[in-house]
Chain A
């Protein structure tokens, strides 16, 4: 019998308002839908057992606590780690399932906040971590050990990136009028510290796996030296790589992950701005003005005045509809882009 995770980092119910929660829910659904299609390339038909076991591993690894600073400790989120080990699309599925099970069976993370949690921990950390890893692997020497510094950097950046997206979501759907500059600095600063722990444990874990089974590390698959075959005349030739190791669409993947993440985020944000809630942008503007100008300037009751309206049904419903429409449009665009991206490959193959 396993123990309950002691220190949750998952957003509970009520942190963000209903419309934002439904919006992130739609964004998360779209992200998971795309990941479901793309994950087939990474794990073929073994997807379910291996992804399920990886989910169990992430669930277990999240219980590893490490000291962050004086008397406090953080624990692994695991998005970047999962992306490096099993590939970004499978990692999105794995993280989403872990968060779903934690919300439903462990009451960890609110049910209405599930979309927010999947977006932050399941999609943003995986996407940022993976993009950083790909970028670094492009410049690092081509050998499996290069995955270790790449994974470390990816994990380091993935955590403050998730914190920054949380701040963004909070400015859209949070209740209190916090000074944005301070909130961003505090959240991102604190999570950079947590990111250091995440980076250390991710890098060391990946290094341990690369040492024994480099073939299991998805990010290192193409970095292994080719098998040398000795010819009858004594010369050596490279053995052809097995089909599974050849990933013709590799170059596209980071673009798709990054583009998908940005599209989903924009879908959430833009639709909120467009759905009759001037709240987010106005809020930032006023707040920045407030920070720059005078400390005494009290736009007191600003958030409060808007609050009833924001949480009221009509605006809420409009916001939700706006988000759904935008996400649908984004998905359609995504599909068109994908088809176009796939075309040159067909001719070259």
Chain B
């Protein structure tokens, strides 16, 4: 993947999870996360079981736990919010180590941490096993409007071009002894952002003209391999099905 289709979270591999078609994985992930979010917060055991299920998927996909842990920092700001909840929420108070905390707040905080963590881990697993190109193909198969898929394709294709353009500007600024230390320096950074937009837009115009000269008529030709087989769907459905069974078994449904 030398053309910029690789992305930071992607881990090259050839596991069973890697080989599953992207759209099947997206649907399975969405179903799983919906079940997680719909589970009442007080069913602690159920969340543990969900975690075990995800650990199983991670093992199957050969994604090491360390990789997952380092990527999970993304949810830290929301964990901070969750930790605040027991102190600011109203309702019945319970004593924890001598501090009166809101029972509601404790439960809600736990709710956010548990569901947010499971969601982030599931999303990381998708991103780690799906490269950008197959994800775009998957979105196409999921009948996302062609225009949106095309916009997303251009974004993914050019994101690192634009970001490295931005980084070159930063290097240029810093090599002229610029240091963004306070709000007043924002003007210089924003100038670069303005220049970056002009460059990006002009690049877009050039790309468009180049495409026109190669016969582009307003829509990209649809390149689609064989659709996902029944066994791929069955394999991917295993995760949300198992989650549903766990939820049912722990008394949520029955």
Interface residues of A (CB under 8 A from B): 1-4, 7-9, 11-15, 17-18, 21-22, 32-33, 36, 39, 45-57, 59-61, 63-64, 66-67, 85, 93-94, 96-98, 100-101, 103-108, 110-113, 174-179, 182, 197, 200-201, 203-209, 211-213, 216, 287, 290, 298-304, 307-308, 311-313, 316
User: Which residue of chain B lies nearest to A180 when distances are taken between CB atoms in the complex?
Assistant: B90
Q: Which of B205-227 contact A (CB under 8 A)?
A: 205, 207-208, 211, 218, 220
B contacts with A: majority SS: helix
Please, what's the 1-or-0 string for B83-118, where 1 marks a CB less than 8 Å from any CB in chain A? Answer: 001001111110000000011110111011011101
B6, CB-defined interface residue at 8 Å = yes
Shortest Cβ gap from A54 to chain B (Å): 7
Give 14 CB contacts A-B under 8 Å: A8-B75, A13-B115, A15-B116, A17-B37, A21-B34, A49-B204, A52-B151, A52-B157, A101-B156, A106-B7, A200-B190, A205-B197, A300-B104, A301-B92
Contact status B107-A54, CB under 8 Å: no
Residue numbers in A under 8 Å from B9 (CB-CB): 4, 105-107
Contact status A206-B194, CB under 8 Å: yes
Residue numbers in A under 8 Å from B26 (CB-CB): 104
Residue numbers in A under 8 Å from B33 (CB-CB): 13, 110-112
B253, CB-defined interface residue at 8 Å = yes
Contact status B75-A55, CB under 8 Å: no
Residue numbers in A under 8 Å from B191 (CB-CB): 204-205, 208
Measured CA separation A96–B204 after assembly (Å):
19
- Please give me the 6 A-B residue pairs with the lowest Cβ-Cβ distance, nearest first: A52-B154, A14-B115, A208-B194, A13-B119, A300-B92, A204-B190
B38, CB-defined interface residue at 8 Å = yes
User: Which residue of chain A lies nearest to B7 when distances are taken between CB atoms in the complex?
Assistant: A105
Shortest Cβ gap from B67 to chain A (Å): 12
A contacts with B: majority SS: helix
Contact status B92-A106, CB under 8 Å: no
Shortest Cβ gap from B28 to chain A (Å): 11
Measured CA separation A178–B107 after assembly (Å):
12
Measured CA separation A177–B164 after assembly (Å):
45
Measured CA separation A96–B90 after assembly (Å):
35
Measured CA separation A204–B108 after assembly (Å):
40
Contact status A53-B120, CB under 8 Å: no
Measured CA separation A64–B124 after assembly (Å):
24
Place the interface of chain B in its size category.
35 or more
Measured CA separation A4–B163 after assembly (Å):
11
Shortest Cβ gap from B184 to chain A (Å): 10
Please, what's the 1-or-0 string for B147-178, where 1 marks a CB less than 8 Å from any CB in chain A? Answer: 11011111111111111111000000000000
Contact status B253-A209, CB under 8 Å: no
Residue numbers in B under 8 Å from A22 (CB-CB): 34
User: Which residue of chain A lies nearest to B145 when distances are taken between CB atoms in the complex?
Assistant: A36
Measured CA separation A216–B151 after assembly (Å):
19
Contact status B155-A61, CB under 8 Å: no
Measured CA separation A216–B194 after assembly (Å):
11
Contact status B193-A54, CB under 8 Å: no
Residue numbers in A under 8 Å from B234 (CB-CB): none
Residue numbers in A under 8 Å from B220 (CB-CB): 48
B16, CB-defined interface residue at 8 Å = no
Residue numbers in B under 8 Å from A213 (CB-CB): 198, 201
Cβ 8 A contact of B40, one of A61, A104, A308: A308
Contact status B164-A2, CB under 8 Å: yes
Contact status A207-B194, CB under 8 Å: yes
Contact status A56-B193, CB under 8 Å: no
User: Which residue of chain A lies nearest to B189 when distances are taken between CB atoms in the complex?
Assistant: A64
Shortest Cβ gap from B61 to chain A (Å): 14
Shortest Cβ gap from A321 to chain B (Å): 15
Measured CA separation A134–B104 after assembly (Å):
44
B250, CB-defined interface residue at 8 Å = no
User: Which residue of chain B lies nearest to A311 when distances are taken between CB atoms in the complex?
Assistant: B40
